[in-house]
Structure 1
Amino acid sequence: MSFPDKPLAHLLGANGPIHALAYSASPGTYILTGSADRTIRLYNPFPAESQSFASSSSSSSITGRFKQGAPAAPLPEGRLIQSYAAHGYEVLSLAVAPDNQRFVSSGGDRAVLLWDVATATTTRRFGGNLHGHTSRVNVVRFAGEGESLVASGGFDTTVRLWDARSGSAKPVQVLDEARDAVTSLVVRGPELVAGSVDGRVRSYDVRAARCVVDVVGASVTSLDVTRDGKAVLVGALDSKLRLMDRGERRVPQD
């Protein structure tokens, strides 16, 4: 699969740096952005190809919108569909539920918020002063069967799991093995993979209460797991990418 090497559209409206991006779930027609101006925005980057946010059929691929070698043309402007405002500080992370009806956000205000897409309102605020993160929340993801859980990782070195269906303000589980800020999370079924500034990648089996630690050797800034789950691609503060073989618990490439 080839990717375009030039911009396809402008998404305008943010009044500060954009810290978070998330495509809508399949077919990925729409884009959410989270900005330093404390606002989340929903865009249709290609209004001419408009679909329902909850649609399950794809109209075109990313390669279909851009032909290599085609004459340069003015960039189209994406259409701003909705703005979502409830955070008190910058928005740092976004995740969209597979049904495209909900998304979750986190930010510098220590908040983890669950949103209803259609009404542009928050339906849950996880944590609060007693049970929430004590500092900025760097990353959020849906987890559990039917996206019944929300996982959040923060500057306070913890990963917290929240029940998205109940009204409880307490996390159902707190993972506190990290010794520095948690920067990244990937969820694969019952497994949660977390990267942190202490230079570790921790793989949790939430059902078995088991944690496997891989030492990277540099502060982890981002990570992703391959589709087959056999390797993890890790970005670090030393400007290197590392492909970690999970089966042999080693780092074969950097």
Structure 2
Amino acid sequence: MATPIAEPVAALASQGRLQDLAAENSKTTRSIFSGPQERKRRRSDADTLQSTFDESIRMRSEYQNVQSLPPSLVAKQQSAVDARKRKIRPTPSTTGGSNATPSFSSKALVRREAKPQSFLGAPAVGGIEQTGLVRHNSGNPTLRPVRPDWHPPWKLMRVISGHLGWVRSLAVEPGNQWFASGAGDRTIKIWDLASGSLRLTLTGHISTVRGLVVSSRHPYLFSCGEDKMVKCWDLETNKVIRHYHGHLSGVYALSLHPTLDVLVTGGRDGAARVWDMRTRSNIHVLSGHTATVSDVKCQEADPQVISSSLDSTVRMWDLAAGKTMGVLTHHKKGVRALATHPTEFTFATGSTGSIKQWKCPEGAFMQNFEGQNAIINTLDVNHENVLFSGGDNGSMSFWDWKSGHRFQALDTTAQPGSLDAEAGIMTSTFDQTGLRLICGEADKTIKIWKPDPDATPETHPLEWKPTLGRTRI
């Protein structure tokens, strides 16, 4: 049994051993992590001389190879420092002179040599541009904002009345003497382009006429409608000579191949069909869209057929194989309109609040046409690089094809006696010269627009402000 005096003695002894152990550990820690000056000072202490010697051997054996940089890295760092010194131009205050500009410390992220005018328009002072952020794009000129060409504003020239329903389709004949219109009153009317007078009315469809096209190599007019019918009219006798049967629902669009005797139609059944013009046989059924095919276009080179659909996609087709070459899925809403450029190998697509430009043959995205917040029903482009877009709410926009700049925006006016809700652009087309724009509207009228002949760059200056986002890829 321990005595009352022995217990404090044992506690003191164990406490002494703990203090010695803590002191030894602290000496070891200081010898490892202390600086060279402190280790030098503590070498005189005989108690820690041996431990310091042991730790120094350990430090040399483990960290000797990483105490200094390799010669190759030292040389690279020195060359970088020298190159940076050569790029920095001395300020006038360091070279002397009575009119020297006081030196200052710039916080610019990029230091450039002095120029008469900086990139963002601020003058350069003291040899350093006064801009915090400099957009360096000299290596890639395609990222620079494209300056738009000047175009005269368009004004209303003529209003033609005669249809009893919405005007849903238009086509100008290759000789530029007349144009045809199809409407919800189930008729096709032929109008004189110069005077706007009615020449002829063709009847035969039993529902809205949704598509018209005039052949440039035959005396034929092709029409399609919501009655599932595709008709070929002989313009010499003004009668239907062929029917193309096969669509399961309304036919909303059709297009003629420019060099082949081929007709392409698309409709509500989600399929685009390729027809032999003369034999009326169905060559291909271009299946792949999951909703209504709203528009189709044909061109000479691949992709020879381009189709848009309300499933928000645009498909490019291999006409020989009858298969899809590519699918463009950039649009978020249904694509209602297509327009191919008459001379460039490019095309545009339009959906709700979005117009996009693409490059053939791969379908590479080029740029957006931003600013018209409406359901885009129709697109058309002429030889002067003017793109027209018509909205379901009656809004009209004229764009520069090259830069995507909207140089004119206006709203159509419904004819007297119509509702304001009927101010909608349903279809449009340029004539063969590109100097007349024909629009079919929901107020049952056809409106013809032309450029203002009195406009000049001085009277109507170009209002364009470049932005970082307004670039063409």
Q: CA deviation at 1:25?
A: 2.3
CA contact under 8 A between 1:25 and 1:99: conserved in structure 2? Answer: no
Give the alignment of 1:133-152 within 5 angstroms: 133-143=289-299, 145=301, 149-152=304-307
The normalised TM-score by structure 2 is 0.43
Q: CA deviation at 1:144?
A: 5.1
1:80 to 2:271 alignment: no
Which segment is superposed worse, 176-185 or 95-104?
95-104
1:99 to 243, 250, 259: 259
Change (3 A) 1:4 1:121: farther
The equivalent of 1:73 in structure 2 is none
Q: CA deviation at 1:190?
A: 2.7
The equivalent of 1:90 in structure 2 is 250
CA contact under 8 A between 1:100 and 1:117: conserved in structure 2? Answer: no
Give the residue type in structure 2 aligned to 1:156: D
Distance 2:300 2:277 in 1: 20
Change (3 A) 1:95 1:140: same
**Higher helix residue share:** 2
Give the alignment of 1:36-51 within 5 angstroms: 36-47=226-237
Larger radius of gyration: 2
1:238 to 2:393 alignment: yes
Q: CA deviation at 1:100?
A: 5.5
Distance 2:328 2:300 in 1: 16
Distance 1:4 1:87 in 2: 37
Question: 1:207-239 deviations in whole A, cap 9, x for unaligned?
Answer: 4623311122222110111213x2201111220
Question: Following TM superposition, where does structure 1 have runs of at least 4 consecutive aligned residues deviating by more than 4 angstroms?
Answer: none
Give the residue type in structure 2 aligned to 1:17: T
Q: CA deviation at 1:148?
A: 5.5
Distance 2:295 2:403 in 1: 28
Q: CA deviation at 1:206?
A: 2.9
Give the residue type in structure 2 aligned to 1:23: V
CA contact under 8 A between 1:9 and 1:45: conserved in structure 2? Answer: no
CA contact under 8 A between 2:266 and 2:273: conserved in structure 1? Answer: yes
Q: CA deviation at 1:166?
A: 1.6
The equivalent of 2:213 in structure 1 is 22
Which segment is superposed worse, 148-157 or 111-120?
148-157
Distance 1:46 1:6 in 2: 20
Give the alignment of 1:107-146 within 5 angstroms: 107-127=267-287, 132-143=288-299, 145=301
Question: 1:28-60 deviations in whole A, cap 9, x for unaligned?
Answer: 73211101110100112342xxxxxxxxxxxxx
SS of match in other structure, 1:11: strand
The normalised TM-score by structure 1 is 0.78
CA contact under 8 A between 2:303 and 2:360: conserved in structure 1? Answer: no
CA contact under 8 A between 1:25 and 1:97: conserved in structure 2? Answer: no
Give the residue type in structure 1 aligned to 2:320: R
> What is the RMSD computed on CA atoms of the aligned residues?
1.9
**Across the two proteins, how many residue pairs are aligned to each other?**
214
Distance 1:102 1:195 in 2: 25
Change (3 A) 1:148 1:221: closer
Structure 1: runs of 5 or more not aligned: 48-77
**Higher strand residue share:** 1
